[in-house]
Amino acid sequence: YYNNDTLIYLDGKFVKAHTASTDLYSQTLHYGYGVFEGIRAYATNNGTHVFKSKTHYERLKKSAELINIPFPFQVEELMQATETLLEKNNLSDAYIRPLVFCDPNMSLAKPNKVSIMICAWEWAAYLGNKQLRVMISSICRPHPRSVKIEAKACGHYINSILATNEAKDQGYDEALLLDSDGFVAEGPGANLFFEKDGMLFTPQLGNILPGITRATIFELARKLGIQVKEGLFTPNDLLAADSAFYCGTAAEVIGIKAINQDTFPLAWPNSLGKKLQDAYAQVVRKTKQTASTVSL
Ligand code: PMP
């Protein structure tokens, strides 16, 4: 992720990653009480394009507000810091990770003071580029009355890690988590779509992270004339689908070959997922100007 020359952004300054440090009494380290983002930048003909930068920093702010973490930062200032960070590290195609973390405090009360760090590195598509074999996890998503499920909060990722480990230990590429009522929810770090009879379906909001890539897929589907229906779907609905895919900032758009032992009948090249995968690759790599004219 970094070498001796790598710079990170820390509370308004650019500092060497390998010398930057934090307090071991941070509430974030002890209780997972922090919020973060995952953003991607792409090389385009018109320079580096941080895809939906504003949307990501607005979600970071919303995540903090949802779990009572102060957010004394300006979205525009963080967007600018991100551009500078990429320039200083000579990065163009990069994954960007902002993290808001709390000061030393061993109580469970709201923090008075927080810090922000932003780091970036080159990162290939998180789930690779081969179609995935996915396992329905025995771990379910946290109940929305137990946590603020719409916040991208550090501690929530223990749930994602447990599901990932279980799937990998059983020889699968990735997990699929159900919600606490047994409906299909999402992957450990990506949202799910499936195709049936020429239409797309995706779990409704309520038990999932409202993915920014998910929103982009809605926009692209509308442009391509593909109908998308949100709802509550059972594992059997999914198993009866023609094809399926995951989407997320880190994973981008990646096909799912099989769920447990059931392989989807439609070949990936003929699926709506493939069309959207191609459209997504185009839109993230467009010039800033073109991208803004299509409002993505
Ligand atoms: N669900 C979870 C649990 C995630 O961690 C992510 C990655 N942020 C997503 C969905 C996809 O969200 P996005 O498209 O905003 O990256």
Q: Apex CA 140: angle with CA 137 and CA 145, to 5°? A: 170
Quickly list DSSP for 144-180. Answer: TTTS-TTS-BGGGHHHHHHHHHHHHHTT-SEEEEE-T
Query: In the prediction, which pLDDT does 155 show?
Result: 98
- 163 and 182: one domain? yes
Query: In the prediction, which pLDDT does 291 show?
Result: 41
Pocket test for ligand 1, best of 36, 191, 246 (most atoms within 8 A of CB): 191
Looking from the CA of residue 216, the nearest atom of ligand 1 is 14
Task: Show which of 121, 152, 176 is a domain's final residue.
Answer: 121
- pLDDT, averaged in runs of 10, over the chain (296 residues): 97 97 96 98 94 98 98 98 98 97 96 96 90 98 97 98 98 98 98 98 98 98 98 98 98 98 97 97 70 44
pTM of the model: 0.95
Residue 244 phi/psi, 5° resolution? -155, 160
Q: Do the domain assignments include residue 153?
A: yes
- 31 and 107: one domain? yes
Could you give the residue numbers annotated as active site?
A: 152
The rounded radius of gyration (Å) of the Cα atoms in the chain is 19
Query: In the prediction, which pLDDT does 197 show?
Result: 98
For the chain, how many structural domains are there in total? Answer: 2
CATH number for the domain harbouring residue 254: 3.20.10.10
Looking from the CA of residue 213, the nearest atom of ligand 1 is 14
> Which positions ≥6 away from 48 have C-beta within 8 Å?
41, 42, 83, 86, 91, 92
Looking from the CA of residue 160, the nearest atom of ligand 1 is 3
Question: What is the CB < 6 Å shell around ligand 1?
Answer: 38, 160, 186, 189-191, 209, 211-214, 248-249
Q: How many CB atoms lie within 10 A of CB 45?
A: 10
Q: How far is the CA of 223 from the centre of ligand 1 (A)?
A: 22
Among protein residues, the one with the nearest Cα to ligand 1's atom 3 is 189
Query: In the prediction, which pLDDT does 58 show?
Result: 98
Query: In the prediction, which pLDDT does 23 show?
Result: 95
ipTM comes to: 0.99
What is the distance between the alpha carbons of residues 199 and 243, in angstroms, rounded to a whole number? 10
Residue 105 lies in domain:
7-121
Q: Do the domain assignments include residue 294?
A: no
Tokens of 112: 């008075």
Quickly list DSSP for 165-234. Answer: HHHHHTT-SEEEEE-TTS-EEE-SSSEEEEEETTEEEEEPTTSS---HHHHHHHHHHHHHT--EEEE---
- 149 and 281: one domain? yes
Q: How far is the CA of 152 from the centre of ligand 1 (A)?
A: 8
Query: Residue type at 196?
Result: K
Pocket test for ligand 1, best of 40, 249, 276, 283 (most atoms within 8 A of CB): 249
Give the CA distances from residue 25 to residues 46, 61, 106, 130, 203, in Å, rounded to whole numbers and listed in that order.
44, 23, 7, 41, 38
Query: In the prediction, which pLDDT does 124 show?
Result: 86
Tokens of 136: 């329905």
Query: In the prediction, which pLDDT does 290 show?
Result: 42
Q: How far is the CA of 155 from the centre of ligand 1 (A)?
A: 14
DSSP bridge pairs for 228 = 200
Among protein residues, the one with the nearest Cα to ligand 1's atom 12 is 211
Query: In the prediction, which pLDDT does 278 show?
Result: 96
The answer to whether residues 217 and 253 touch, using CB atoms and an 8 Å cutoff, is yes
